[in-house]
Amino acid sequence: MFKKVLIANRSEVALRIIRACQQLQIKTVAVYAQVEAQAPFVQAADEAICIGPDTASSTYLKREAILMAAIITGADAIHPGYGFLAEDALFAEMCAECQLTLIGPSPAMIRLMADKAAAKAYVQQKGVAVIPGAANVTPAQLPAVAAAIGFPLMLKASLGGGGKGMRLIQSAAELQQDYHLIREEARQAFLSDAVYLEKYLPHARHIEVQILVDHAGHIQIFGDRECSLQVNHQKIIEESPASCLTDVARQQLYQATERVLQGLAYCGVGTLEFLYAQGQFYFLEMNTRLQVEHGVTELTTGKDLVVQQIAVAAGATIPTRQLAFQGHAIEVRLNANGAGDLQQFQLPTTVRIETGYQAGMAVLPYYDALLAKLLVWQPTREAAITKLQQALQQVTVRGVQTNLKLLQQLLADPRYQANQVDIHFLKDFHRPD
């Protein structure tokens, strides 16, 4: 087992990883932005090193500074969490060059899956359905290829992620007008102007499968999740299991997952994301890291995914199997709408909470909007919704605008309660003031 793990991340996920390390009796090193010197994750780690002033690019994205911190403190592994460098193949290569274990798959696997167009091509060739579309289209071919796919369609940056780098295109004229603009945006945001076209699915659910694979290629399936409720393509409510699935559909989903993973030299946790429409699963992308919503899977399987992720990275083997899951878990993401000072920040004590914040702290403009995750588990989905509604009543945030009201309205909505939602549900949803 590792002796010391450096956490190349911040806030709630850094605390989550520290907790797993403590359970495994591994020492931890936090790296932090100067403006976050007092943050709980910095205090909770055994050691902490400041790596820069404030913005993401001057801190948690600085590969060399993070590696230096790992070397100076004698860490033997790095946990990247999610976001920042978690799916950065170059960082993975640099870790290997420094004889540091990156807790994640190999650079080659990260590179394959980070390019969503390449990942789709790979998966399709394995006989798994992908959303119809086209990559590597020249500007001259564009009108004919787009017409063949049909409008509306999605134009996506191959290296996009986090809900960014995708655009709904309604017509040939709009495509003509926006194509070069979107490529330029992609080049600036993701350092590559590669884009691909994809058929727009008007009624689909976002279903995903959590997996863990060890060095020997043993695959464990940790059940499924549904994450259809999204704002600007970013998830705000996640559930485990995906209760719209019949047993037959679930087995098809797991078979597709196994087909993708067979023969792939993958090791670590990962998530295969699918859109599910008219009884068919279409592979969307694979995330080669721990996900924000891993906690709902932990609640239904009773397993600690972060502990297992670290153990597998250290060489542990796991049995090949599908894990049984029980009951129903729901997570909501309490997000800040903008920066500010948390004058008051009260969260319930009756449910699982993952947060990097406390009253008195500033929500800074440099990082993501996640303030806290609230997670519940109950024997049924109905009971889980009720418990979460009660928990949200105990949330008080002052000094920063949040999405609390939206979450409350969503949970109270009869269509949500009847599980009649899809990925576009929130677009027409009545927004609170």
By the rule CB under 6 A, 284 interacts with ligand ADP: yes
By the rule CB under 6 A, 273 interacts with ligand ADP: yes
Bridge partner residues of 99 (DSSP):
none
Ranges of beta strands (E only) in 162-215 are 164-169, 195-199, 205-213
The first and second tokens of residue 298, run together, are 């932990």
By the rule CB under 6 A, 423 interacts with ligand ADP: yes
289 a catalytic residue: yes
By the rule CB under 6 A, 345 interacts with ligand ADP: no
Q: How many CB atoms lie within 10 A of CB 297?
A: 27
* C-beta of 407 vs 421, nearer to ligand ADP: 421
* C-beta of 6 vs 207, nearer to ligand ADP: 207
Which amino acid appears at position 246 of this protein? T
C-alpha radius of gyration, the chain, whole number: 21
* C-beta of 19 vs 199, nearer to ligand ADP: 199
Q: For the chain, how are helix, strand and coil distributed in percent, rounded to 5?
A: 35, 30, 35
By the rule CB under 6 A, 162 interacts with ligand ADP: yes
CA distance linking residue 328 with residue 381, whole number of Å = 5
Q: Which among 362, 333, 364, 337 is positioned nearest to 433, based on CA atoms?
A: 337
Q: Which of 289, 321, 333, 431 is catalytic?
A: 289
The first and second tokens of residue 64, run together, are 């060399």
Considering only 40, 160, 223, 270, the residue that binds ligand ADP (CB under 6 A) is 160
By the rule CB under 6 A, 161 interacts with ligand ADP: yes
Considering only 185, 285, 293, 298, the residue that binds ligand ADP (CB under 6 A) is 285
User: Smallest gap, in angstroms, from Cβ of residue 248 to ligand ADP?
Assistant: 23
Ranges of beta strands (E only) in 366-408 are 370-378, 396-398
Residue with the closest Cβ to ligand ADP?
423
Query: Binding-site residue total for ligand ADP (CB under 6 A)?
Result: 17
User: Smallest gap, in angstroms, from Cβ of residue 147 to ligand ADP?
Assistant: 17
Cis peptide before 80 (omega within 30 of 0): no
By the rule CB under 6 A, 239 interacts with ligand ADP: no
Helix (H) or strand (E) holding 281: strand 280-287
By the rule CB under 6 A, 340 interacts with ligand ADP: no
By the rule CB under 6 A, 132 interacts with ligand ADP: no
By the rule CB under 6 A, 163 interacts with ligand ADP: yes
User: Smallest gap, in angstroms, from Cβ of residue 422 to ligand ADP?
Assistant: 9
Bridge partner residues of 157 (DSSP):
195
The first and second tokens of residue 91, run together, are 């960082």
Considering only 126, 215, 233, 381, the residue that binds ligand ADP (CB under 6 A) is 233
The 3-state DSSP class for residue 421 equals: coil
Question: Long-range contacts: 14-18, Cβ < 8 Å, 24+?
Answer: 14/41, 14/44, 14/45, 14/81, 14/356, 15/40, 15/41, 15/44, 15/354, 15/355, 15/356, 16/306, 16/354, 17/79, 17/81, 17/306, 18/44, 18/45
Q: Which stretch binds ligand ADP (CB under 6 A): 104-112, 155-163, 188-196, 301-309?
A: 155-163
Q: Which among 120, 123, 121, 90 is positioned nearest to 107, based on CA atoms?
A: 90
By the rule CB under 6 A, 154 interacts with ligand ADP: yes
By the rule CB under 6 A, 65 interacts with ligand ADP: no
By the rule CB under 6 A, 257 interacts with ligand ADP: no
* C-beta of 89 vs 95, nearer to ligand ADP: 89
Contacts to ligand ADP from residues 177-216, by CB under 6 A: 198-201, 206
User: Smallest gap, in angstroms, from Cβ of residue 234 to ligand ADP?
Assistant: 8
By the rule CB under 6 A, 410 interacts with ligand ADP: no
Where does this chain bind ligand ADP (CB under 6 A)?
A: 131, 154, 160-163, 198-201, 206, 230, 233, 273, 284-285, 423
**Residue positions annotated with a catalytic role:** 289
